[in-house]
Structures are given as structure tokens and as C-alpha cells.
Amino acid sequence: MRNYKYNLLLVIAFVLLLLMFCAGPKANAQSQQTIKAFLEQPWIPVETSEPANTVTTATATFTYSDQPDAGNTLTISGAGFDAEVYEFYENGTTYSGDNIGVEIGAAEDASYANLEAAINTYSEFVVCSLTTGTNTVLLTADASENPTFRGHNGNYITLTDDVANATIPAALTGGTSASAGQTGSLWYEDDATTSVGDALWVKLADTRYTSGVWRNLFSVMPVPAPLMTAISNHGSTTTAVTITAAQNGTHFILGENGSDPLTFNLPDAEVGLWYVFTDLDATAAADLVINPQDDDKIDAQDAGVSLNATGDAVGETRMLKAINDERWITITSFGTWTTGS
């Protein structure tokens, strides 16, 4: 019941936002007052102080006492992401397959300086810092490169190795995430003037945060430009929809489509692109399918794997935003979504 009320709350807030931005600038002040009145209803928990998220980044520290052996490897991995294998090799020799080569230097400090450089060049998981005076290597979860591993989720980055003369832990540890307030509650930033820039916050349940996380809805969605650049409605077809970068900000809708699924093919991921998808067909098997390019990933899924609305319920909605040239992340989600193929 709690999840139902929370989902209903998000849908209502989303509709209010849509109405506000589509109404044009003259209606913004009135729409903001409507949202404020909505938030003041007694059945919606509202925080009285500014929300905050507290995050501690996960780390791993290890030491070395001598040179690694040629062929020794350090593997860094995390759920849903391709593992990175760093292999030590001697100058003039080769290393295996798709491994990332780390040349063994004249002394152990030089070897681990090469490891530091390789990790900081190629890793999607961590950044590396070497202290030669104490023979210490520090690995820190890199949330700027991969937001999935922010906070306590950084503890899911694992390390496996057979490196001689080094003591390497099995995983990063110490990552924590916390936030005050009740999950599902709202906070409204009121000031002397009511404008589009005022902040509307909602506390979401988020697996990356042990007690949920506050999100600023107005900062998540482009402002003060219109909320949607266009609405694209599709139904009664099995022809896949090819989305272009020129359609950035479009809300794609699957209408009545019999018992057939419909695939929406995303363009190449590019920072700043975002789209919203809504499935209005509750017919079994008439799923809305979001398909990335073969080299792109959605959230923690493998490259090229689709995301499907499979709940057979009207209104299943997903908003995706590209954070780099190979990954889309979910900004907000409503309904049942599962991994496709």
C-alpha cells in the first residue's frame, strides 16, 4: 500500500509539473501556487527543513613489499558492468587478450606507478592513488565516472587478484549513504517570489542510499524551457520507432497496440539527451521496449540490452538521461520494468 501511495504521489506531481510548463510563462506563478497548495494537503508528509544527503565514498587500501610477477592480474568488477583485468608484464613481452597491460618497472614503486596510471586511464570503477614512501595503493570509488557506485553501492566493487608480494582486499568498503526525513515525503522551497526556479524535492527509495535520497524535481527536469519538446504517440503498429537526437526531450507514448510489443530505438548516447516513455496499453504482451544502441548501456545492464515495460498496467513510465557517450540512467520510473535482450 505504501508503494502504491508513493507511486500515485509521483504521478500527480509529474502531471502538475507538466501542466505548469506547458501552460506557458504567464501561468507559471498560478501553477506554482497550485503545486504549493497540493503540497500542503495534510495527507502528504512535508518536511519543515531543507533536505540533505550525506555520502561517504567506498575505498580499498593495499600494500606491496616487492615486485609483482609477470602474468599477475588484478581484476576490478561490479554487478552489471564489464570487469577490468590489469595484467603485469615485462618489457618486451605481451599480455593476454583484452587485458589492460601494466609494465613491470625497474623497481616495485615504478611497477605500481604504472598500475596507478593504467587504472586512472581506463577504469570506470575507481581512481587510484599511490604513496611510494609507504608502499600503499588507495582505490576510491569513482562516482563522477559511474554514478551507480555512489555512496554505499561502492561497496559492491570487488577486487580479485593473484599479485605476488601484495595484500589486496576482496572489495571496497566504507561507503555509506544517508538522508534525513521520511521516504515519500516532500519539501517545497518557498521564497519571496514564486517562480519556476523554486525547488520541489521528493525523497525517493533508492538502493544506492540506505535510507533513501532527496531529489530536486526542478533540477532533474530542464527549466525554464518547456518540460517536453514534443509528445509522440504510437499505436496499431509493429514498426520500431527510431529516435533521433533532434527529438531530445520528447515524451514517447505507446497507445492501443493489440497484443504486439513496440520497440523504441534510442540514438547514440550523448550527454544532455533525455526522453520519457509511457505505456498506455495494458494488454498482455503489448510491451513498450526501450532499446539502446549496441554499444550503449541502460543503468547497470549490459551493452545493447533493452528495458521493457512488462506490468501490463496503464501508465508505466520511464525517464532516461544520457550521462556520457555510452550510458543512459533512469531519472524516474513508474510501474514494472524488466531487462530484455
Please provide the DSSP assignment of 236-247 as one string: S--SPEE--GGG
Give mean pLDDT, residues 230-259. 82
Give mean pLDDT, residues 62-72. 97
Q: What confidence score (pLDDT) does residue 28 get?
A: 44
Q: With contact defined as beta carbons under 8 Å apart, do 227 and 207 qualify?
A: no
Which pLDDT band holds residue 315 (cuts at 50, 70, 90)? confident
Which pLDDT band holds residue 100 (cuts at 50, 70, 90)? very high
- pLDDT tens sequence across 159-176: 999 999 999 999 999 987
* Most confidently predicted of 35-44, 222-231, 302-311, 316-325: 302-311
How far is it, in rounded angstroms, from Cα 200 to Cα 321?
20
How far is it, in rounded angstroms, from Cα 212 to Cα 28?
30
Q: What confidence score (pLDDT) does residue 4 get?
A: 42
Nearest to 286 by CA among 307, 311, 254, 261: 261
How far is it, in rounded angstroms, from Cα 150 to Cα 171?
15
Q: Is pLDDT of 87 > 60?
A: yes
Looking from the CA of 116 toward its CB, the CA atoms found within 13 Å total 18
Q: Is pLDDT of 210 > 50?
A: no
Q: Is pLDDT of 127 > 50?
A: yes
Bridge partners, residue 100, by sequence: 86
**What percent of the chain is modeled with pLDDT above 90?**
39
Pick the residue with more confidence: 156 or 72?
A: 72
Q: Is pLDDT of 65 > 90?
A: yes
The beta-carbon contacts of 324-327 under 8 Å, at least 24 apart in sequence, are: 324/269, 324/271, 325/268, 325/269, 325/270, 325/271, 326/269, 326/295, 326/296, 326/297, 327/269, 327/296, 327/297, 327/298
Q: With contact defined as beta carbons under 8 Å apart, do 262 and 294 qualify?
A: no
Give mean pLDDT, residues 277-295. 88
Is residue 293 classed exposed, middle or buried when 0-12, 13-18 and 19+ CB atoms within 10 A define those classes? middle
Which pLDDT band holds residue 180 (cuts at 50, 70, 90)? low
Least confident of 73-77, 194-198, 251-255, 296-300: 194-198
Nearest to 100 by CA among 66, 128, 76: 76
Q: Is pLDDT of 103 > 60?
A: yes
Nearest to 137 by CA among 150, 126, 128: 128
Domains of the chain: 1-47+188-222 (no CATH), 58-176 (3.30.70), 228-341 (2.60.120)
Q: For residue 38, what is the enclosing H or E element?
A: helix 28-39
Please tell me the pTM assigned to this model. Answer: 0.47
Pick the residue with more confidence: 62 or 334?
A: 62
Residue pointed to by grid coordinates 512488462 = 310
Degrees, nearest 5: CA angle 249-254-255: 130
